[in-house]
Amino acid sequence: MHEKNHSLYHWIGQASRMIADAEDLLYPGTMPDSDVAILFPRSSWLWDNSTQMSGSCTTEKKGSPECAKLGAECVATIDLYCSTEAGGPPTMCSDCLAAWPAKLSQANCPKDAATGAFDSALLSYCEGLGPAGPFSNEDQGSASMDYHAEVYALFRALQQVSNIQVDLIDEDDLTHKRLSALKALIITEPDVPIEGQTAVAQWVKAGGSLLTVTGAASGDRYNQPTDVLSAATGIAEAPRPRKMIQWTSKLAAADTGSGKLGDFTAFGVRGNVTELHQFSQSGAGFKQLATFSDGSPAIIQNTAVGNGMATHFAFLPGIRFRNQNPYRADPHFVSPIGLRQLSIASAVLAEVIAGYTC
């Protein structure tokens, strides 16, 4: 619109006339449903609260070495200047730490001796501040709970990079009728109604392919522990607290590991697979696709869940895709090298889903 000679208007007009000529054909058209879907969270929102935040020194981490390292005066200052309740930049801890260096220095917040910059523990603490629940999850550009940020990340990684059409379904769609149209289903949210989990378990045994990430389907709609899916798939994970993610670009590495496509980094959080049900009886269906640095399972697959299969990621495999700008071409993002740099595990995920849909 700002072109000086306005030559584009001719082509815009020609394109518009072509669309108008095809309108009778295009208007009735609808996009076919995909056979790959991601469960959009709902029940879990109710149970997102400040006691689940990883950075709070006033809740479960009070008295921890991390909080002791910061000191009470420093913690109080961060609470005052970086929390959304006290007028700091909403959900922007990294900006807060940069905006009030004098206040943080006065509060004796620790600094790195070599660089003189504030200790990374400040940002780790600050990541836990801010609101939770659906009001924070609406803005995918800032704060979000880990499982919800992963929905957005995986959708972009699969739809944009791997060219796999993905539908978003809600908990009401976890029925035999709706699931029967799917070949693959991805679940990230921790709290899924029991009847939905039961339907998913039956669907997998009938031939469906389930993908879960750390913390997924560990509770029911009342946030009570449940093992419906873990018992069906044979893969169980230890409970872990949810994490409020302020900015995915600021997430620290939770662990590293290696898998079939090479080394990878698990950002933000990682789970601990505690049990492989049925493994001692019949381990033929289990495959360990990747391990963490300590040798524990990072990606586990059970190809013998009835006639179906289940793949579990004990971390958030797509979380780094959330940083990409959908309105700008990023050649390094879609290249094989860029894809590996972002997350090897995401390439594994895309490969697994592509295998499901062949």
First to last CA, the chain: 44
d(CA 122, CA 99): 13
Of 8-17, 77-86, 225-234, the range with the highest mean pLDDT is 225-234
- Whole-number pLDDT of residue 142: 45
Question: Minimum mean pLDDT among 43-52, 100-109, 217-226, 287-296: which range?
Answer: 43-52
pLDDT tens-digit readout, 287-333: 888 899 999 999 898 988 999 999 999 998 877 665 554 444 444 33
More confident residue, 137 or 294: 294
- pLDDT tier for residue 228 given thresholds of 50, 70 and 90: very high
Q: Which amino acid is at 219?
A: G
Q: What is the mean pLDDT of residues 134-157?
A: 66
Strands 262-267 and 273-276: unpaired
Q: Are 235 and 302 in contact (CB under 8 A)?
A: yes
* pLDDT beyond 70 at 76: yes
* pLDDT beyond 80 at 67: no
* pLDDT beyond 90 at 285: no
The three-class DSSP label of residue 76 is helix
Q: What is the mean pLDDT of residues 107-114?
A: 82
Q: What is the mean pLDDT of residues 65-85?
A: 68
What mean pLDDT value characterizes the chain?
A: 75
Neighbours of 62 (CB within 10 A): 11
- Whole-number pLDDT of residue 308: 92
pLDDT tens-digit readout, 27-64: 888 878 888 999 999 999 888 754 444 444 544 455 56
- Whole-number pLDDT of residue 279: 45
Among candidates 313, 197, 191, which has minimal Cα distance to 259? 313
- Whole-number pLDDT of residue 65: 64
* pLDDT beyond 60 at 346: no
Q: What is the mean pLDDT of residues 334-342?
A: 39
Domains of the chain, residue spans: 36-46+141-357, 50-131
Strand partners, 185: 37, 210
* pLDDT beyond 90 at 192: yes
More confident residue, 329 or 239: 239
* Torsion angles phi and psi, residue 179, rounded to 5: -65, -30
CATH of the domain spanning 36-46+141-357: 3.40.50.880
